[in-house]
Amino acid sequence: MNVSNQKLVTPLEKPLKGIIKVPADKSISHRAAIFSAITKEKITVSNFSCGADCKSTLAVLKQLGVEVNFQSERNLAICNKEGFREPQEILYAGNSGTTIRLMSGILAGSNFSSVITGDESLKKRPMARIITPLKQMGADIKAEYDDTKAPISIKGTKLNGIVYNSQVASAQVKSCILLAGLNAEGETVIREPFKSRDHTEKLLSYMEADIEVQDTRVKIRKSELCPKPMSIPGDISSAAFFIVAASIIPDSEIIIRDVGLNPTRTGIIDIMRDMGADITILDKREECSEEIGDIKVKYAELKGVTIGRDLIPRIIDELPIIAIAATQAKGTTIVKEAEELRHKESDRIKAVCMELKKLGADIEEADDGFVIFGKTQLRGNCVLETYHDHRIAMSGYVAALASLKPVKINEFQWVNISFPEFIEVFESLQK
């Protein structure tokens, strides 16, 4: 079910109860599709993300000649027998930063020319962070507007390995360089200031690439990938909305099944526990080199916390929903050194502060984060904006559930980027 336009959300009168599943992990789905296409063999991917972002990756792969066949709604077969071929038209990555940045790493080392772009939100996001290292590898690549913003024009050429010290802890930057390195002469090494999500490293190892990981340093050499079937766990970034909702709505008790628990992504669990949340992990196991398990959450009294630089990469997508939890926590929550949030699908620092103020929260904006003074009874009775940003839309919905009066959310269809069944799943917990 795809949701559209303005959504009226009425405050919850009952606790959230039940067992749910969330969509497949968006980050891993992108990688599964792209890495399958590199192998030139047919690979089946089960439980692929149903969100628009991963469809953007599939669309770009199709433009490059890759065959994508859905065997059922969530299971697909990817086959690129002939190898990537020059696209006839501009490649369109939609709203997806992961698509444009990872694909640029592949296109840079191809034997054809291409242009890749995206929607209005994506065209505002920084691309120098991938263009600079790719140029150092020998890439012939150029972006419009000061060489920093999409569209990006790429003339494929032979690449050479580099040693690159990234200024940002970004999995998209790291993955772009690693994918370029997979096809470059010599050794490519990337170091980041803090470890970002490591799905690329895990999946490339699973596919037997020549890759070594040592803390925040990853080394890759030119290698062939071994075709293997893949199965994608549930997305912890989608589960985060339910973890917070069940923690702040009195008497709630839920279980979220089959969620990816990669330690580079579980910052939301650690922080919510620090805030006093009642979270238990059940049935932990491993699939395709990724940890997975069920998450049980019960309502609990929360308290404020301080969140700084070292934790940010592990919760980069969860900070908007953590802000909602903070409004319902006793004491002060400080989010600092999180300037990366200004470069996401929207400026998430600004968006969180603007929208939470409308709801009646006590929040102050800082250059690199925000400070929230809790606990506040959110008033509601307002119209929220979503800023072309799925996570801002879903965070607004959870805040509205905990408000006194109904809330309208404009352009709620942005949830389709990662979680088209968001409302349906929430409603299944309200019976």
Q: Which residues bind ligand S3P (CB under 6 A)?
A: 27, 30, 97-98, 170-172, 175, 196-197, 316-317
Annotated catalytic residue 317: yes
Q: How far is the CB of 5 from ligand S3P (least distance, A)?
A: 24
Nearer to ligand S3P, 80 or 98 (CB): 98
Distance CA 24, CA 312 (A): 22
3-class secondary structure per residue, 130-164: HHHHHHHCCCEEEEHHHHHEEEEEEECCCCECCEE
213: how many CB neighbours lie within 10 A of its CB?
15
Nearer to ligand S3P, 185 or 347 (CB): 347
Among residues 268, 249, 259, 263, the alpha carbon closest in space to that of 430 is found at 249
Q: How far is the CB of 177 from ligand S3P (least distance, A)?
A: 12
Which strands make up the sheet holding 407-409, listed edge to edge? 7-9, 407-409, 383-384
**Token duo for residue 300:** 């609990």
Q: How far is the CB of 225 from ligand S3P (least distance, A)?
A: 18
Q: How far is the CB of 407 from ligand S3P (least distance, A)?
A: 25
Distance CA 166, CA 216 (A): 10
Q: How far is the CB of 373 from ligand S3P (least distance, A)?
A: 27
Distance CA 344, CA 342 (A): 6
Among residues 330, 275, 324, the alpha carbon closest in space to that of 297 is found at 275
If you search the block for the tokens 């690329």, which residue do you land on? 200
Nearer to ligand S3P, 235 or 411 (CB): 235
**Token duo for residue 386:** 């979503």
Q: How far is the CB of 117 from ligand S3P (least distance, A)?
A: 18
Cβ atoms 57, 99 nearer than 8 A: yes
Nearer to ligand S3P, 170 or 333 (CB): 170
Distance CA 278, CA 395 (A): 20
10 Å CB burial of residue 2 (0-12, 13-18, 19+) is: exposed
Using omega within 30 degrees of 0 as the cis cutoff, is the peptide bond preceding 15 cis?
A: no
Nearer to ligand S3P, 44 or 238 (CB): 238
- Residue by residue, DSSP assigns 338-356 as -GGGGGSSS-HHHHHHHHH
User: Running DSSP on this structure, what letter comes out for residue 234?
Assistant: B
Nearer to ligand S3P, 172 or 231 (CB): 172
**Token duo for residue 95:** 């709203």
For 329, the 3-state DSSP assignment is strand
Nearer to ligand S3P, 53 or 411 (CB): 53
Nearer to ligand S3P, 197 or 358 (CB): 197
CA-based radius of gyration for the chain:
21
Q: How far is the CB of 129 from ligand S3P (least distance, A)?
A: 8
Distance CA 89, CA 334 (A): 46
Q: How far is the CB of 96 from ligand S3P (least distance, A)?
A: 9
Helices (H) and strands (E) in the chain, counts: 13, 24
Residue count of the chain: 431
Query: Exactly one of 317, 347, 362, 389 is catalytic; which is it?
Result: 317
- Catalytic residue positions, numbered: 317
